[in-house]
A and B are shown apart, each in its own frame.
Chain A
Amino acid sequence: MTYTQLAVSAVLIVVSIDLFVLKTQLLKRKLFWTSYAIIIGFQLLTNWWLTSRNIVMYDPNTIIGIRIASAPVEDLLFGFALVLGVMLNWIRLDASHKPR
């Protein structure tokens, strides 16, 4: 599979887990989107650093070729899936810790 296919799959899987499997529903919360807005700013900055200096290099055949702040757009999907995955797991554990 290409990086593009893997990145899109990862987002779809994590989104389904949030909405349908664990039903944490973070995607429906201002809390998540505000946090993500902060994170994506820093992600673009670090992505730019790591890719513009060629610390990380990508095979052009596995990416679609759209670059944002010098990094492949797939990196944003990768980051989104990672961040949402960790957050929903955290919130799920949090909810199980304190009875409401």
Chain B
Amino acid sequence: MILFTVVGSFWLEVALKVKVLKRYKQAFTAILPVSLIFIAWDAYAIHSGHWRFDREQVLGIFGPFGIPLEEYLFFIVVPFAALMTIEAVRAVKKNWKVYP
């Protein structure tokens, strides 16, 4: 699923020249504070039993707080995909207002 997200969005970097990967510093600066909060949420949710992962269907590599590796990748890949999507729409609809 993570690969699906990568394949589904990262082509925009080339096709529409969204330059999200090129601006990786800005991307990480935008993503990290948000992702860290969501990882904390994930840790709390796993700890409280809100959700759990089938051990047979994950790679079996767990990071801090018992969070599967795939989940950590999710919080990097999905935000990148989101940024590429908004930049792709921006590239196609150049006259649409962006800033307040």
Contacts and interface: CB of A to CB of B under 8 A. Distances in A.
B83 A56 contact: no
Contacts, number: 113
How would you classify the secondary structure of chain B's contact residues: helix, strand, loop or mixed? Answer: helix
Interface residues of B, number: 42
Interface of B: 1, 4-5, 8, 26-27, 29-31, 33-35, 37-38, 41, 44-45, 48-54, 57-58, 78-79, 81-83, 85-86, 88-90, 93, 96-100
Interface of A: 2-3, 6, 10, 23-25, 29-32, 34-35, 38-39, 42, 46, 49-50, 53-59, 62-63, 78, 82-83, 85-87, 89-95, 97, 100
